[in-house]
Chain A
Amino acid sequence: MTHHTHEDTAPPEAAATDHRRLLEIRGVSKEYVSVKGASVRALDDVNLDIGDGEIIAIIGPSGCGKSTLLRMVAGLDTDYEGTIEWTRAPRPGRDIGFVFQEPALLPWRTVARNVSLGIEVQKDRSDLPTDRVDQLLELVGLRDFAKSYPKELSGGMRQRVAIVRALAYDPRILLMDEPFGALDAITRDKLHDDILRIWAATRKTIVFVTHSVEEAAYLADRVVVMSPRPGRLRSVHQVPLDRNRDAATRQLPVFAEFAGMLRGELA
């Protein structure tokens, strides 16, 4: 690790050099054709490199194409112009963890069986500890609800289940679409620290969409700001903080200054 002190905002390209490149997004554009035949340019010439082990936040106004971009990276949307190239192609069903904008839990499965779904459907995951699901549920404070059904949980609890479901099979890259939007501030802060802890232990690549500039600043190495109609990358900012972040980080003047700058970019 070389970037413990990025006290000033480094140029965007510098960040990727700290990490081996994992993903290269080049000239990606996407047009949706509406039922009436009118076309909406959801993404326009998006270029972005994502390094292995990097945490990237994507922010931007509603409708600027954040979900669309994330779905493309996940391989859920393959109908676009441009290229998304991986240094090492993700193995289907194994390397990508995705947290959707809604929890999307299977109502007929218990919480534990929802979390274990991704492990169940893979061939041989004897590399994972047998109490993996319990550990993850413990992590998000839901161990007592392992045998409950999703409809018995609150919205925030469901979203926590969805997050650990995406982590359960130990994917290389974690993609999250507004994962913390439905949570109260305390749970959100706790999950932020959980995510950072998971990152510290596994060095997963994490790309997440958020509407909160504080969340972006607290979690990310780099923040991608998008602008709407057509969806473009407006700017990419290196977060001027080292990787060791905790509650005190939010009190730092540089944190407030950076978050304020992001807020200004969004306006």
Chain B
Amino acid sequence: MSSTTERRDRALPLLVGAASLAGGVGLWWALAAFSGLPSYVLPSPGQLVTRAVSLWQAGGLSIHLQQTLAEVLQGVALGSVIGIALAVLFVRVGWIERLLMPIIVVIQVTPKISIAPLIVLWLGLGIGSKITLITLVTFYPVLINMVGKLRGMPSTMHDLADVLNIRRGRRALLIDLPYSLPALAAGLRVGVLQAVTAAVIGEFIGAQAGLGYLEKQAQDNDDIQVVMICLILLSAIGWALYTLVGLIERKLTERFGG
């Protein structure tokens, strides 16, 4: 296969995606222009852009964007580290899994939105409570995916480690970790989307900054334009992270997969 057809194979879905997105925006614009809905109920795309630009120039957008990004990135990083560490421990040390798994399951089956008030009450309105919430939702899919991968490790790899007398920490670092890294990305695929949701939930419930906080404020002021701006930015964050994880997954599989 030549590289031009390869490029076309990759470009085509991108084109179709862009077209469908453009179609959606067009429909929105038509609805705003011809449906007779007042612009404070359904602003047109143009109005929204103008409002966003003026908000940005006044400095009223970037702090919130930065806040939410900071929460998500730190929460996901912490969640990944905890997920990886627990996965390696669970697979090697059975009693730790038996001890912790019930607690973890209880936390996971409890709706996050119902845990959020408690965490905000305990940890305050600052970034800490959001990071905690995000960590709570991301470590789980990472853990589950990594454990699944590690349990499926070919028995000869275990035998090899035994014959070479590679044990404990060294075994985790030299064999378990690199072997299971591709599964980290699979876990994060689910994890990052839940992370953005968790950030917004935390910011709704109690915060001093963040896109969720801004959106909630705008809702209280009946400012539909700002609500929509926040919404679009949040979905852009989600999309960017999802794409990034896809990229990381490809790299990890290339580097560490068979």
26 CB contacts below 8 A, A to B, read A71-B159, A74-B159, A75-B162, A76-B159, A76-B162, A93-B163, A98-B159, A98-B160, A100-B159, A100-B160, A101-B156, A102-B154, A102-B156, A104-B159, A106-B175, A106-B178, A106-B179, A107-B257, A108-B179, A108-B255, A108-B256, A118-B164, A121-B164, A121-B166, A150-B258, A151-B258
The number of chain B residues touching the other chain, given as a range, is 10 to 19
Chain A residues, CB < 8 A from B255: 108
Interface set of A (CB-CB < 8 Å, partner B) = 71, 74-76, 92-94, 96-98, 100-102, 104, 106-108, 117-118, 121, 150-151
User: Per-residue CB proximity of B137-177 to A under 8 Å, as 1/0?
Assistant: 00000000000000000101101101111100010001100
Cα–Cα, bound, A76→B159 (Å): 7
A175's closest neighbor in chain B, by CB? B163
B171's closest neighbor in chain A, by CB? A121
A100's closest neighbor in chain B, by CB? B156
With a 10 A CB-CB cut-off, give which of B164, B170, B175, B178 has the most chain A CB atoms.
Answer: B164
- List B168-217 residues whose CB lies under 8 Å from chain A: 170, 174-175, 178-179
A165's closest neighbor in chain B, by CB? B160
Closest 8 CB pairs of A and B: A93-B165, A104-B156, A92-B165, A108-B256, A107-B258, A98-B163, A108-B178, A100-B156
B164 near A93 with CB under 8 A, answer yes
Cα–Cα, bound, A117→B160 (Å): 10
Pick the contact of B164: A71, A117, A151 (CB < 8 A).
A117
Chain A residues, CB < 8 A from B166: 93, 121
What's the least CB distance linking A118 to chain B, in Å?
5
Task: With A121-B174, A151-B258 as known contacts, state yes or no: A104 contacts B165, CB within 8 Å.
Answer: no
Cα–Cα, bound, A94→B175 (Å): 18
Cα–Cα, bound, A74→B164 (Å): 11
What's the least CB distance linking A125 to chain B, in Å?
12
What's the least CB distance linking B150 to chain A, in Å?
14
Chain A residues, CB < 8 A from B159: 71, 74, 76, 98, 100, 104
Chain B residues, CB < 8 A from A151: 258
A117's closest neighbor in chain B, by CB? B164
What's the least CB distance linking B162 to chain A, in Å?
6
What's the least CB distance linking A91 to chain B, in Å?
9
